[in-house]
Structure 1
């Protein structure tokens, strides 16, 4: 069978692009497995000649790893859950109901999504200070919830618009109430949208550093991104242990993605195409 030159060229280009994006991850993993002397060596060995797990031992022996991991999981999973529930409750009325000011509200949701997280830092800090939530994990949960909610509402609204309302009406004719029609018909079809938005919310909350570093005055309330910063001291940066810590830090996000990846493929392209 003859392969078209255009297809070969596109395949080669795709491999080059994939290698470009995968190389930093490969370098992080190989650096985590290299002896410290090899990491600091000026020679760039793409394939390490010597491997060791000492860097992971050093990373795990850092004080507070278990506490920071627990804090990260609490605020991240809490923000994801709150964002999905609130986003779904807002997206369904915005897609199904016709009321005055609906378009303006949708525009405000989009504007809130466009606002950079750093621009909200001072207002968020003053707000948490006034309500007495500084140095508490709920403050981080609320911040991550607020920053991921606009995207969740916007995306889920597109998914709801893509589900014909006639399906719900047919279920109601067959004897289901409005809630029963939503639970049995609409909610299962929203699975890809819920997965796509949950991945975005998880990555956003899991990787956040600035708020976790400034809002928490007690080191026992820090999250894993702040733990990674602890590898840099006044005497220098332990790059080998830092790379091992970065690998460990990436595992929960990778596991979460693998658990939902089947529906993510469908969800990533279907939800936000409808305005």
Structure 2
């Protein structure tokens, strides 16, 4: 009896937490489908009485700012996010392999520094990173933004992938070498397939970091046609009023790629997180 009551309490608590987390998303989508009269109504309506796609049409067809459409911002965000995911995955896997497979001086210090970097507030790095990016000639350039996001995602990716590489028995690579495989073939055909779940898990973190980040995109990019989607969202907020319908529609469109990406790699991500937590 006590076990049944305890199980019911845990399930009820889990359901409440899920509803608390889902409610803002539900309200965002619901508001994006409401006409302005219902949005600014004194009596809030959870479900729109007269659903409309007007706000989505205004966001997708109209110019967010003169001469620049929502599609341009979307392409900028997609370019930055994809480049960050690919580069962080490649560099993190190579670094994690070196840390897990080789013994060298300051190896422990390197691992500790990976943790220290993640503890530093991002806001504290805006000014030094701005000076560095400007000296490199990458200010107001999307590659400069990719470089910044790469620096944020690499420590977590290296630390996490290290556990996956360490979990792969070294005997497998030795057996492949005995069979005549080169180092590149061993890496590509033996190690990479086994650490693929870890790459998927870290790629989600890198993708979300590059897709949703606002402060650095707003600081390091000054030309309006190179802004990313989070920066474009700020143009819907005026001094006197706010286009809440457009804000919610744009927020929904901003959320969709992350949700689609998560659904596609969900199984591998869960197995990757579990595998990385078991050994390493």
- TM-score, normalisation: structure 1: 0.94
Structure 2 distance, partners of 1:145, 1:272, is 24
Structure 1 distance, partners of 2:90, 2:136, is 24
Structure 2 distance, partners of 1:32, 1:99, is 55
Aligned partner of 2:75 in structure 1 is: 70
Aligned partner of 1:201 in structure 2 is: 206
Aligned partner of 2:21 in structure 1 is: 21
Cα drift, residue 45 of structure 1 = 2.1
Determine helix, strand or coil for the equivalent of 1:46.
Answer: coil
Structure 2 distance, partners of 1:58, 1:200, is 31
Q: Comparing 247-256 with 160-169, which one deviates more in the overlay? A: 160-169
Mapping of residues 100-179 of structure 1, within 5 Å? 100-179=105-184
Cα drift, residue 42 of structure 1 = 2.7
Name structure 2 gaps, 5 residues minimum: none
1:37 aligns with 2:42: no
Aligned partner of 2:56 in structure 1 is: 56
Cα drift, residue 32 of structure 1 = 0.5
Cα drift, residue 120 of structure 1 = 1.0
Aligned residues between the structures: 273
Cα drift, residue 169 of structure 1 = 2.2
Aligned partner of 1:221 in structure 2 is: 226
Q: How big is each residue's C-alpha offset from its partner over 1:143-169, in whole Å with a ceiling of 9 and x where there is no partner?
A: 111111111111100111122222222
Name structure 1 gaps, 5 residues minimum: none
Structure 2 distance, partners of 1:161, 1:149, is 18
Among 71, 78, 91, the residue aligned to 1:86: 91
Cα drift, residue 273 of structure 1 = 5.3
Aligned partner of 1:260 in structure 2 is: 265
Q: How big is each residue's C-alpha offset from its partner over 1:69-89, in whole Å with a ceiling of 9 and x where there is no partner?
A: 111111111011111111111
Q: Comparing 87-96 with 255-264, which one deviates more in the overlay? A: 255-264
The alignment's C-alpha RMSD in Å is 1.6
Cα drift, residue 274 of structure 1 = 4.5
Among 227, 231, 238, the residue aligned to 2:243: 238
Contact (CA 8 Å) 1:76, 1:206: kept in 2 or not?
yes
Determine helix, strand or coil for the equivalent of 1:134.
Answer: coil
Determine helix, strand or coil for the equivalent of 2:265.
Answer: helix
Contact (CA 8 Å) 1:154, 1:272: kept in 2 or not?
no
Structure 2 distance, partners of 1:16, 1:62, is 40
Q: How big is each residue's C-alpha offset from its partner over 1:44-74, in whole Å with a ceiling of 9 and x where there is no partner?
A: 2223322111111122223321111111111
Q: Comparing 199-208 with 260-269, which one deviates more in the overlay? A: 260-269
Q: CA distance change for structure 1 residues 260 and 83 in 2, over 3 Å: closer, same or farther?
A: same
Structure 1 distance, partners of 2:120, 2:217, is 19
Structure 2 distance, partners of 1:211, 1:9, is 43
- Give 4+ residue runs of structure 1 displaced > 3 Å after superposition: 272-275
